[in-house]
């Protein structure tokens, strides 16, 4: 799963990015991936211009984009320095996407799941209460697509992401909908660990179906409970995958 799939899910891939955006994305990936360490200076404009084969003005514009996201700090006479991670706009769509291009960071994956646990159960409850019939149909269509595409990892995760996006939108809360990038980043980051075998996709389908059924019957309490169950299962599978990645025994659920 790569960052372009994230942009596809965010409906942000229709126009090819300009040179400055391409430069900012490449530098951003290197910052997020740790090639450029926190508090370290990056190369000057001349060296970056030569490396990327673009003008210095393009480099300056790309750097400005990263400054706006809190990743870089530019000081006259001191150069351009990577800011500490605490200053990064971690919920920015690009920053979330760049995490998909680097080795998974266990702490960040756990934090993404924590945020999902905070908002998605309530979103499911609100979808049951506030969702229109058309919105509930969209959730069901994503569920059907998930069941049909369970043999392909990429098709499955797209359907999975659309399922959760449809629930957030059916909650009819603008601020909650603005958080959908967290869902996409969490799904795309964790599924490459938890669902490396396409046969494993079917494991989570019954959890999604129970969430859907509760929302369709307008049972807000049950919808919240079923989403909690789904995310608890996700958490257990993520911990098992991270334990395997780190070469230690997985904790008992």
Find, among 253, 239, 166, 154, the residue nearest to 208 by Cα.
166
Measured from the Cβ of residue 107, the count of other Cβ atoms closer than 10 Å reads 8
Which pLDDT value is given to residue 196?
67
- Strands 72-75 and 79-82 come out as antiparallel
Measured from the Cβ of residue 77, the count of other Cβ atoms closer than 10 Å reads 4
Q: What global pTM score does this model have? A: 0.84
Three-state DSSP at 185 gives helix
Which pLDDT value is given to residue 198?
63
H or E segment to which residue 176 belongs? helix 174-177
State the helix-helix crossing angle for 133-148 and 205-216, rounded to 10 degrees. 160
HSE (side-chain half, CA atoms, 13 Å) at 205:
18
Token reading at 208: 């999604």
Token reading at 67: 């400054």
Per-residue pLDDT of the chain (253 residues; tens, 9 = 90+): 578 788 888 875 545 679 999 999 999 999 999 999 999 999 999 999 999 999 999 999 999 999 999 999 999 888 999 999 999 999 999 999 999 888 878 899 999 999 999 999 999 999 999 999 999 999 999 999 999 877 777 788 888 889 999 999 999 999 998 888 888 888 888 877 776 666 677 888 999 999 999 999 999 999 999 999 999 999 999 998 888 877 654 444 4
State the helix-helix crossing angle for 220-246 and 106-130, rounded to 10 degrees. 170
Which pLDDT value is given to residue 1?
52
């Amino acid at each position: 799963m790569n960052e372009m799939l994230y942009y596809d899910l965010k409906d942000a891939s229709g126009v090819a990015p300009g040179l400055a955006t391409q430069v900012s994305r490449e530098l951003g990936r290197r910052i997020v991936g740790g090639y450029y360490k926190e508090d370290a200076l990056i190369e000057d404009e001349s060296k970056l211009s030569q490396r990327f084969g673009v003008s210095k003005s393009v480099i300056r514009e790309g750097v400005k984009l990263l400054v706006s996201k809190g990743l870089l700090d530019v000081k006259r006479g001191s150069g351009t320095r990577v800011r500490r991670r605490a200053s990064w706009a971690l919920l920015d769509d690009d920053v979330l996407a760049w995490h998909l291009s680097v080795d998974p960071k266990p702490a960040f994956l756990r934090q993404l799941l924590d945020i999902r646990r905070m908002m998605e159960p309530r979103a499911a409850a609100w979808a049951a209460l506030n969702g229109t019939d058309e919105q509930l149909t969209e959730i069901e269509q994503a569920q059907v697509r998930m069941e049909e595409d369970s043999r392909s990892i990429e098709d499955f995760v797209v359907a999975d992401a659309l399922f959760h996006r449809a629930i957030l939108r059916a909650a009819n809360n603008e601020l909650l909908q603005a958080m959908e990038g967290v869902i996409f980043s969490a799904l795309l980051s964790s599924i490459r660990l938890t669902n490396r075998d396409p046969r494993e996709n079917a494991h989570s389908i019954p959890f999604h179906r129970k969430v859907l059924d509760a929302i369709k019957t307008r049972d807000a309490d049950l919808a919240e409970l079923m989403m909690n169950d789904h995310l608890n299962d996700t958490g257990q599978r993520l911990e098992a995958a991270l334990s395997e990645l780190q070469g230690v025994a997985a904790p008992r659920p």
